[in-house]
A and B are shown apart, each in its own frame.
Chain A
């Protein structure tokens, strides 16, 4: 019954058009309420936010923080952590390691420390959903969930090839319900299966993927339609074919056209915006202008950037053949883990260098995306953590977006050819605080269909970040004054004050139980665990879990 009030802060709540107005925020039982009119309802806690900036808690809609692939990366790279800062235990909080792939408790604390209160892991194979859930239970404070890999799932491919949309819908619903996942994820649709079958990869969306007799185009169309038909809160989430290959902008364009007006989210779009040719590094250039034009004229499509930052990190992806490619290109150690009937994965340490033409252009391409997409509601901030860089670099990206002088300074340092292959030097736009609030919380929450996140209206979850206003943008965003989760203070003066478990957010779409028999028959023919042992039951959901409803038409 406790009421908390945050008084006198400057509110940035883009969902409700509030742009720096001074208002109070009232929270009761973890939800934002209207200011109470009863004279004797004294708030139990009063937080003085005079002169400070208030935003809803941050929402990261694409990162790799839990599950088998992330854990393999942790295990694989002790050297990444040995000299890195660490998280020491306190009387209240657990210890952890950081580097490019933080341990689970550290992940929760670090996100909260940055003012983020929700994060979604981008790629989990359903067979390992139980593992991802266990890790999320050990990732405190933030609300969380994950997307399910489906773009190389054998049952899905079979139905897509037959054009059996009813079975595809039922399967998708059953799969999401069984794994307690949140959304459909396509990673190199069809390409991972081609790789697992002994082929090289897919380079065009009309390429036949062999045994399954369908094309990436059909997978993209089938599953984007399914996401809409079963009313999932988030659109299909697509990691396009041909990631990282010069010239791949055409694949991205073809993918966008293949959608034919359907809702979709194209992820880490920076890695998919390259002009040039695969065998001639010299011709590498940016094609963001062409692709951004599409996004600007298609409100049903959203993107997140996948910004590259200079420094060392770890690449980890469900794109198995991409892992092999990166290993060959960098010569670094390589881990790959294929999951029966479902998915693949690749992990390779990465370094992005200012003086490397390719890396510097990747960095510039990411920034071009932020600056060329006109409507900030269509673009979310991400580094595809940790692929482009750590989520800890978000404050630096904010600085790059809000301060063009800072951008120009770095442009002077990087490989000079970037100036001719990218239009970044001519982009003067500077993001406002309102726009930053959109791309780091309001926009992602809307893209995810999370009605109670990313805003400070009545009924929203009481997730609030209070920043100290400062002209030093980096300092301001790196160290929030206070972070509040469901109305309770969790971070204050860079210390964790309260360890709450956070809630696992998942969907439970309805499906025709009559079609489960067909799924079972397929499952029992090929899997190596029992059908009954596949679904994840409720006790794996952190904080009891919250089911986000679907809007089936």
Chain B
């Protein structure tokens, strides 16, 4: 008896020490990729202890929060109407919801890998859903402007190596993309910019003096809702047309300021205009962006000039690319007739929800219950939907079927696209007990195909 107890005790100590050594198991992951914002910095050095990241060298404040504050998921992998279920049961239920729906919609996708996005579009295809990404609430208007005018863009390394004039319009990089300046656009020394910041003129145009303003050489505070007018004034000045001071009343800028800017733009060797949601999501939306894109294009008569969007969530650019290559259109796509159709406003998610058209949904790596309009939220709450997310959100709590999945870039490898369309691999830090989005989605695709086949056979 005594010997037995002693053995049990020793075993417990062994296990405990084993657990401790697991927790203290230290490793360093170099060249890791941060997916918090569109900068997608891939030079992060992670110190990993067990299942916690304790250091994220090179990461900015947002990146550090992303890595260090990462919470492993809690609770079961799968829930049906709030109750724990097996993955198989949940996949079956989710597949039924999607296959039985008449107007299913799929939304989200920016915070997951391209591999997962590709399976998602496949599911949308098989069930004839509408597929839309967070682009539609962010730089969707930029995508539409691009369709009207085209765009003159470049990868961020071109900016690093050549740009001597860098303009930010409707963007606050100090807070939204903290490493943009240091890694890409204003500070770094480049091949043709040997003195880094000293060789550059930085201009900031915004409706208020943000935290980014002190870093700019020139700050133009324009009045809200006047971006469209000012951009067109600049276009006119670039083309040598006459503008009267009177035309600029109520814009917040003077003719002299604009002429000065135009002179700089024409005289630079390589200029780039980075634009943010201050253009794409304010009065005018795609018309603002069109004006900015056209301005950059017009300036190519004089020099090399570019206009690049400051994209947000890590892999929204990947979502755009995947949906585009698989369907031909970037977002707001409907597959209900058996082939892709595109119409922003008709098939975009805020609209299909607010107009109560969707009768089922799948939300991936996104929280519309937390940030959509009341009408959209109310309707989403009234239809059966599936949610995949790494953590509990108001969306997962309201879902008919919810999956807790592992985090891309921290637990899951794969491909993501930086804001300038450069594809970058992920280097995960540690494994998660939860499955990846891709794994769940592949199981779901298989089940959906199976149910569709059954349905077809039943109707024959």
Contact = CB atoms under 8 A, between A and B. Distances in A.
Interface of A: 66, 68, 70-71, 74-79, 81-82, 86-89, 91, 94-97, 99, 101-106, 127-128, 130-131, 134-135, 138, 154, 195-198, 211, 324, 327, 333-341, 347-348, 525-530, 532-533, 537
B178 interface: no
A530 B421 contact: no
Given A81-B328, A94-B122, A533-B31, A528 B157 contact: yes
A533 B147 CA distance: 31
B150 interface: yes
10 contacts: A66-B325, A94-B125, A95-B125, A102-B328, A128-B423, A131-B321, A333-B148, A340-B155, A533-B33, A533-B425
Contacts of A348: 150
Nearest to A131: B423
B324 A74 contact: yes
B456 to A, nearest CB: 7
B324 A198 contact: no
B148 A528 contact: no
Given A68-B421, A336-B153, 4 more contacts: A75-B330, A103-B327, A198-B303, A334-B150
Given A95-B335, A196-B162, A75 B157 contact: no
A340 B321 contact: no
Contacts of A99: 328
A128 B417 CA distance: 10
Contacts of B328: 74, 78, 81, 96-97, 99, 101-103, 106
Contacts of B325: 66, 70-71, 74, 103-104, 134-135, 138
Contact of A131 (B125, B191, B421): B421
A530 B43 contact: yes
B269 interface: yes
Interface of B: 30-31, 33, 42-43, 114, 118, 122, 125-126, 143, 146-158, 160-162, 183-184, 190-192, 269-270, 297, 300, 303-304, 306, 320-322, 324-330, 335, 338-340, 342, 415, 417-418, 421-425, 452-453, 456
Nearest to B413: A539
Nearest to A95: B339
A279 B109 CA distance: 51
A340 B339 contact: no
Nearest to B190: A526
A530 B335 contact: no
A71 B325 CA distance: 6
B7 to A, nearest CB: 46
Nearest to B335: A95
B339 A127 contact: no
A95 B127 CA distance: 11
Contacts of A103: 324-328, 340
A86 B155 contact: no
Contacts of A336: 150-153, 300
Contacts of B453: 91
Contacts of A86: 339-340
Contacts of A337: 153-155, 421
B339 A96 contact: yes
A103 B31 CA distance: 33
A76 B160 contact: no
Contacts of B425: 130, 533, 537
A196 B304 contact: yes
Contacts of B33: 533
Give the most central of B30, B33, B324, B338: most A CB within 10 Å: B324
B327 A96 contact: yes
B156 A198 contact: no
B190 to A, nearest CB: 7
B432 to A, nearest CB: 20
B145 to A, nearest CB: 11
B135 to A, nearest CB: 11
A82 B126 CA distance: 21
A156 to B, nearest CB: 15
A324 B300 contact: yes
B326 A138 contact: yes
A526 B424 contact: no
Nearest to A349: B150
Nearest to A104: B325
Contacts of B320: 75
Contacts of B122: 94
A528 B184 contact: yes
A381 B166 CA distance: 45
A327 B300 CA distance: 11
**Chain A CB within 10 A, most for which of B300, B328, B339:** B328
A435 B119 CA distance: 43
Residue from the set A78, A106, A525 with the largest chain B CB neighbour count within 10 Å: A78
Given A74-B325, A94-B326, A96-B327, A340 B42 contact: no
